[in-house]
Amino acid sequence: MGLIKKGKELWFFEDLYSDTTYGFKVSRVIVPETDTGFQKLMILETDRFGRVLVLDGIVQLTEEDEGIYHEWIAHWPLFALKRPARHVLIIGGGDCGVAREVLRHKSVERVTMVEIDRLVCDLCREHMPAVCAGVYEDPRFKLIVGDGAEIIRRLKGQCDVIVIDSTDPIGPAQSLFNTDFYQSVYDALREGGIAIHQTGALILQPFEAPGSWRQIERSFDDVRVVQFANISYMGGPFSLTAGSKGRGVFRDAERHALKAYAKAGFRTSWYSPRISAVPYPEFQKRLETDKYGEEIVMDVNLPAGSAPGARQVSRWASRTCEAIKMKAFGEPIYADPRLGDGATLVQYVETSAINYRRYGRMAALNCFTCAFLPVNDAIRSSLGFFKADRALCWHVPRGSFAGIKTIRRNTRIFEYDRRGNRASKALMPRLVESVEAFSPSFPFFSSPTTSQFELIMDIYGCDYDRIASSPAVARWAGKEFPGLTGLKTVGKADAPDFGHAKKKTAGPSVVQLLKGGSNISHYSVNWLMIVVNVVINCGFDLEKAVRRTMKYFKGKSAVCWLLPRGDNGRSLKEVAENTFMFEVRGE
């Protein structure tokens, strides 16, 4: 929204969120919106907050409360160290508030600040001198104008603390929010060092801190989230995520902070080691969640003579979105509006997907989401829409970081009766070794009662560049995978990337319709993971499908499920016995 006239008054409203905003009255525009070459900058004067720095429509700091953020992001890691810091690297931070706080530590011999946007430094120094507060006159301070993601690769083992004081993961800060960058940060630290990064509002940006937690956890030896509140940052509790090089650093951090703060020789206005910065229990639970998402898979017997076309199935998808409280993205994807036997309809849902296909009188439904999935609501809604009484269901945890035995226990196979609004006692799939699943004599594709076969793959530790590229994932779905399995494609692969604003789900999604089925997959660039569903009415080389997919995306491991879909006439026990799970390690 930006600057808005309200009668004779000028107001500013923040643009960070599409469904909520906050604003304040502006008394004077100090620096009108200026294109710096990297972002759009404004400096505003207000009666309540003093001067305010705005980048790309988002408040970065106000003179009234900038000290809260700058003191916490600087002093929390510096006082937590076992040994006093000598060299501190700041990436971003062009307003110099972090540098000002770091330079208060007498032990610090060198502060290097890498800022990509020179105009931020110059305009803040000119118009917000209280924030800079003599930083440029301190001989220990050095400014490098450049890309922090590039500079940090030259600093292996040189830094005691690294502060990543960036904007949100858009514009010039995008290169600072990926796993390769975090590995470079780890490599630049000395043993016992700490890196800390702002990771957004815990309520209004719910995937920001968990996504960074997962990324930092892969490279660093321990991870902590620091929680505090800052009025200029909308949404209540705000987070910093820190990683250590070396174990035990955070275990002793509170004790070190109390001692170091007492000896520091200066006092802070907002930070204190006696103030708890531990996240609320609910936020900690979200941080430690061990799965990316969940999926409900349903086989529903359609009433006699029922053969829904694309228009009716599109209404089912819309109804399902309402039931699971998700928003549809774009229009449904299908090849034939008649939706004949084996044809698929897919509806993207906020980087997840709902899909349908029919085999005879059996409707095969999948509903996957990377957020909380109200399973019973999804089932009841689908049964009601298709006027069916029962559904055979598989409830599958997707992208779980638990062991395969735990994942198996959390995979539930059951029948749901709409008339009684109840599910039967759940069973588990059979756990087999991959060598058995890949054997030519493995019985999965030979079942005479199974109309279609589903391979579910969750592949971990994938190559960032490969899974972040829409052309690369489209090439896999449209050419590589059909080529190695012999499955026939219908149309071209659709590969939008519409999850960029959500840390957990950032990355492309792909739909490739197949003759008699579909290949649908989602890519989380922050969790280095892909989740794949292939449903088809014929057999294919299972080992090639799994291993070559892992090789293409450079995945380190995979958890796979095999589901017999459209399996008429079998009991729940028989279905469970013919649902398989196995694990594959990279070669």
> Residue 131: is its pLDDT beyond 50?
yes
Q: In this predicted structure, what is the pLDDT of residue 218?
A: 74
One domain for residues 25 and 111: no
Q: Would you state the structure tokens that stand for residue 492, as one six-digit string?
A: 């071209």
Tell me the C-alpha distance between 456 and 468, whole Å.
20
Q: Do 115 and 143 meet the contact criterion of CB atoms below 8 Å apart?
A: yes
Q: What's the whole-number mean pLDDT along residues 52-66?
A: 94
Residue 236 has pLDDT above 90, yes or no: no
Element (H, E) at 509: strand 509-514
Using a pLDDT cut of 90, give the percent of the chain over it. Answer: 72
* Among 255, 287, 319, residue at a domain's last position: 287
Min mean pLDDT across 342-356, 454-468, 488-502, 536-550 is at 488-502
pLDDT (0 to 100) of residue 403: 84
Q: Are residues 122 and 161 in the same domain?
A: yes
pLDDT digit string, tens, across residues 306-352: 889 999 999 999 999 999 998 898 999 999 999 998 899 999 987 68
Give the pLDDT score at 351: 66
Same structural domain, 432 and 538? yes
pLDDT 10s digits, 401-453: 778 998 999 999 999 998 888 899 999 999 999 999 999 999 999 888 888 99
Give me the sheet containing 390-398, strands edge to edge.
Answer: 328-334, 344-349, 352-359, 362-369, 293-301, 390-398, 412-417, 422-423
pTM of the prediction? 0.64
Q: Are residues 252 and 273 in the same domain?
A: yes
Identify whether residues 267 and 373 lie together within a single domain: no
Verify whether residue 165 is a known catalytic residue: yes
* 383 lies in the same domain as 529: yes
What pLDDT band is residue 504 in, cutting at 50, 70 and 90? low
pLDDT tens-digit profile of 369-411? 987 899 999 999 999 999 999 999 999 999 887 789 989 999 9
pLDDT digits (tens, 9 = 90+) for 533-573: 999 999 999 999 999 999 999 998 999 999 999 877 789 99
Q: Is the pLDDT of residue 175 over 70?
A: no
Confidence of residue 178 (pLDDT cuts 50, 70, 90): low
Q: Are 493 and 511 in contact (CB under 8 A)?
A: yes
CA angle 456, 460, 466 (to 5 degrees): 100
Within 13 Å of residue 95, how many CA atoms lie on the same side as its CB? 27
pLDDT reported for residue 570 = 84
CATH number, domain containing residue 209: 3.40.50.150
Residue 116's pLDDT is 93
DSSP track, 90-144: EEE-TT-HHHHHHTT-TT--EEEEEES-HHHHHHHHHH-HHHHTTGGG-TTEEEE
Sheet holding 580-585, edge to edge: 430-431, 580-585, 557-565, 452-460, 529-536, 517-524, 509-514
- Inform me whether the pLDDT recorded for 501 exceeds 50: no
Q: Rounded to an integer, what distance in angstroms lies between the CA atom of residue 495 and that of residue 512?
A: 9
CB atoms closer than 10 angstroms to residue 268: 17
Domain residue limits at 328: 293-585
Which amino acid is residue 343, in one-letter code? A
What span, in angstroms and rounded, lies between the C-alpha atoms of 320 and 337?
19
The radius of gyration computed from the CA coordinates of the chain, to the nearest angstrom, equals 27
**Do 358 and 221 have their domain in common?**
no
Q: What is the DSSP letter of 374?
A: -
Give me the number of domains the chain comprises.
3
The strand pairing partners of 159, in sequence order, are 189
Q: What is the pLDDT of residue 563?
A: 97
pLDDT of residue 231: 84
Instruction: Give pLDDT tens digits for 258-301.
Output: 999 999 999 999 999 999 999 988 888 777 666 788 999 999 99
Residue corresponding to tokens 């949404």: 235
pLDDT of residue 219: 82
Mark whether 347 and 478 lie in a shared domain: yes
283 and 418 housed in the same domain: no
pLDDT band at 180 (very low <50, low <70, confident <90, very high): confident
Q: Is the distance from CB of 504 to CB of 210 less than 8 angstroms?
A: yes
Q: Is 341 left (phi over 0), alpha (psi -120 to 50) or beta?
A: beta
* Domain boundary residue, one of 228, 252, 287: 287
Kindly report the average pLDDT of the chain as a whole number: 90
Co-location of 122 and 262 in the same domain: yes
Q: Which residue has the higher pLDDT, 232 or 332?
A: 332
Residues 244 and 303 in one domain: no
Give pLDDT, residue 168: 52
450 & 503 share domain: yes
In the structure, what pLDDT confidence band is assigned to residue 482 with cuts at 50, 70 and 90? very high
pLDDT of residue 171: 42
Residue 478 belongs to domain with CATH number: 3.60.90.10
Quote the pLDDT of residue 167: 61
Q: What was the pLDDT predicted at 500?
A: 46
Last residue of a domain, one of 237, 263, 287: 287
Q: Is 89's pLDDT higher than 50?
A: yes
531's enclosing H/E stretch is strand 529-536
Considering the candidates 56, 95, 160, 165, report the single residue annotated as catalytic. 165
Confidence class for position 9, pLDDT limits 50, 70, 90? very high
Q: What is the pLDDT of residue 207?
A: 64
- Residue 37, Cβ density class (10 Å: 0-12 exposed, 13-18 middle, ≥19 buried): exposed
